[in-house]
Amino acid sequence: MSYQKRVSMLILLDSVIVLTAIYMGYFTLHPYFNIYTFKTLVISSIALLASHHLFAFKYRLYQKAWEYASIGEMLGIVRAVTLSILSAAIIQFIVNGNVYVRVLGITWMLHIILIGGSRFSWRMYRDYYLRPEVKKSRALIIGAGSAGSMLVRQLIKSHDTDLLPVGFVDDDPKKEKLQIYGVTVFGRTKDIPTLVEKLNIENIIIAIPSLSKKEIQKIYQECSKTNAKTQIMPMIEDIVSGKVAVNQFREVQVEDLLGREPVQLDMESISKKITGKTILVTGAGGSIGSEICRQVSKFKPNKLLLLGHGENSIYQIDMELRNRHGKDFEIIPIIADVQDRDRIFEVMSVHAPDVVYHAAAHKHVPLMEYNPKEAVKNNVIGTKNVAEAADMFGVKTFVLVSTDKAVNPTNVMGSTKRIAEMVIQQLNKTSQTNYVAVRFGNVLGSRGSVIPLFKKQIQSGGPVTVTHPDMTRYFMTIPEASRLVMQAGALARGGEIFVLDMGEPVKIVDLAKNLIHLSGYNIEEIGIKYAGIRPGEKMYEELLGENEVHKKEVFPKIFIGKTVEFDYERVSNLIENHQSFDARFLSDYVLELANKKETLLVKNVN
């Protein structure tokens, strides 16, 4: 129906309603015909009719989409009717010197009932009779607040959704047994498993967008006891801005279950270090390196150097950044190996970077146990080359991406990263460059991490292989790891080791169970197999050694370790003579050197 036809139809309908209301009100109180009062009634009817249409246009009653009507539209009707009745009362007083209060009172009530009923009856007809028959999944909504109420309203009236809300769960005792849009609040978080079984729930929607990670983890623990699919409602800000619809749910991610909030950045200090500067990222094609490049790009450097050994990975991050930021700053892809000292010095000489983020490294623990020489060449010699080039060409800040495996290392990879830390700490004593290291826990979703492996095993039908039921690790996300690198560069004064407050360590087997459930399976379907601890692995990791602990935060959720004195002569001897060592002897030498307790003297950071 066109707009003109729709408005004409509503004007005609309202005219009939207005006249019906006033005449019904009159004859209810005056059942016998009286010519004098009837003349007043006719005048009142004309006044009421004219004023009603006037105020109906003022409050846009003819422009409302009544199939979506709610309290706001009802208030518009009340205002328009009330003002039109008052206008009729004024006309009555002017013409007759008297006001038929009771008649107008009854007319007011009938007017609202008939006008409102005519509008809302269309909505009811549309919702309950024109709606196509669709088989819907029964959904349990977690959170009976404003977001949950908005979600239920949308699900009830939407033709497109395949979800039927049948109950709420909310931990507020005042809401228990209340109904919102006809949907009952049945219980609390602890009742989720029971309610899912009792109500035949197929989907669980977490509709509390402001939940902390710990709260999500607590709720998900209850949801995981069921076979229902669990999803999360999008943020209210994204709904309001139009980025997503109310019913565009996202899956619960492993990152949601870490049990802590992500680190926030000090945007001002980072901007001072990066905006308008030349930034070099080594290992720019890797998981961490590429994300550092993405985060750096947001601060609009003058030049971003993408250095890496793998041609394809550098090509991919180069193309991605050019598509997003190609007009904002210069992007230069550089194919180079950090072990090639001459090439690294050439790059530093030509481009003179202000900040270097050194993310290039061999990181796979079992693989490096079989290839210790390569671990030393890449992680130690490569770091030394890049760090010394930074010193020679006046780089202001050098940030080494290290690992929690560098603490009391039991494997070649961790040992080489610990020695890399020693190298930059020694250089920091004599150089004008500020050298710092950042220690990570395990990075979720990075290449070679457990998440991609577990997902592949689940897709293949299982079982998921876990080394040991008691093995624990600290976990962080790729963006979080990259932010920590940038924040460390902004906080750097030289010689520090920065560590993220990563909350409590997570059992690998619990991570595997969560991932199986998130993938839509149960543990019995996929299975978990314990394969035993691999060469070089620990049962648990540490972020700082006992002689490095410095409890004070230097930034929210970021700690700084104490620097240590060490026998650098032995470190130099290893580096200078690494080619002459037998591979297995080299591995033992690296481990012994990195763990040599008597040569480590604690010294507080100034």
Q: In angstroms, rounded to a whole number, what is the distance separating the alpha carbons of residues 347 and 392?
A: 12
Strand 229-232 relative to strand 250-251: parallel, antiparallel, unpaired? antiparallel
AA letter at 66: W
Burial class (CB in 10 A: 0-12, 13-18, 19+), 303: middle
* Cβ contacts of 435 within 8 Å, gap of 6 or more: 387, 390, 398, 400, 424, 425, 427, 428, 492, 494, 495
Please name the helix (run of DSSP H) or strand (run of DSSP E) that holds residue 306, with its range, or none. Answer: strand 303-308
Distances (CA, A) of 25 to 84, 106, 118, 468: 15, 5, 19, 83
Burial class (CB in 10 A: 0-12, 13-18, 19+), 474: buried
AA letter at 171: D
Q: In angstroms, rounded to a whole number, what is the distance separating the alpha carbons of residues 333 and 315?
A: 8
Rg over alpha carbons for the chain, rounded to the nearest Å, is 35
Task: Write out the DSSP string of 439-480.
Answer: EE-EEET-TTSHHHHHHHHHHTT-PEEES-TT-EE-EEEHHH
Catalytic pick from 277, 405, 538, 557? 405
Return the ∠ at Cα 233 (arms to 229 and 234), rounded to 5°.
135
Helices in 393-442 by DSSP H: which ranges?
Answer: 412-430
Give residue for tokens 């010294």.
603
In a 13 Å sphere around the CA of 112, the CA atoms on its Cβ side amount to 17
Q: DSSP assignment, residue 425?
A: H
Q: How many residues does the chain have?
A: 606
Q: Are 22 and 51 in contact (CB under 8 A)?
A: no
AA letter at 488: A
Q: In angstroms, rounded to a whole number, what is the distance separating the alpha carbons of residues 394 and 277?
A: 13
**Torsion (CA) 58, 63, 65, 70 in degrees, nearest 10:** 0
CB atoms within 10 A of CB 306: 25
Q: Are 254 and 518 in contact (CB under 8 A)?
A: yes
Q: In angstroms, rounded to a whole number, what is the distance separating the alpha carbons of residues 564 and 499?
A: 15
Q: Is 243 a catalytic residue?
A: no
Strand 229-232 relative to strand 558-561: parallel, antiparallel, unpaired? unpaired
Q: Which residues carry out catalysis?
A: 405
